[in-house]
Amino acid sequence: MYVPKKVFFTKGKGTALTKLGSFEAALKDAGIARFNIVEVSSIFPPNAGIVTPEETLAGMKSGAIVHMVLAKMGSNEPGRIITSAIGCALPKNKNHHGYLSEFHEYGIIEKKAAKAAEDLAREMLLKTGEKQKDIERTFSTVISTKTSMKGKWTTVVSAAVLI
């Protein structure tokens, strides 16, 4: 059984003529386009450490199968605000698991998206029986942009990558 030992958070945006092209460009901007992505649900592994993309990506091989919680939003409607976020809630007891949440929405500014993603992760952690006082912290990674005014596709991605 595989349980990740590290997690890093990343985000990116991309624009292209096609939806898939803009998604690929967003993944490239986030530094994760060279991997085979497997989307997973919302558990932050017990005892996992949080690392930076810079200290992790260089040692990863292209083509590797990489598990991640991924939030994505795309549109080709000119001038539309698109936002994606990953929220995280961690318990004080590192032997317990935490929660990761995906948030993606139109017309939401980053501050509101961050709060929504963190609130969702906190809510999921509280449903496990953890008490509010037993939550160490919540945080998020969020990205927002306005879509191309020329009708091109624009995509934003936020990810928690589990290694």
- Residue among 42, 76, 144, 148 flagged as catalytic: 42
Give the Cα separation of 101 and 146 in Å (integer): 23
- Active-site residue flag, 41: yes
- Active-site residue flag, 54: no
What is the longest distance spanned by two Cα atoms in the chain?
50
Q: From the CB of residue 78, how many other CB atoms can be counted at a distance below 10 Å?
A: 13
Measuring CA to CA, which residue among 89, 155, 79, 161 is closest to residue 123? 89
- Active-site residue flag, 36: yes
- Residue among 22, 84, 101, 102 flagged as catalytic: 102
- Residue type present at position 147: T
Start-to-end CA distance of the chain, whole Å, equals 14
H/E element, 157: strand 153-162
Give the Cα separation of 112 and 84 in Å (integer): 11
- Residue among 36, 54, 62, 95 flagged as catalytic: 36
- Assess contact for 27 and 14: CB atoms under 8 A: yes
Active site residues: 36, 41-42, 102
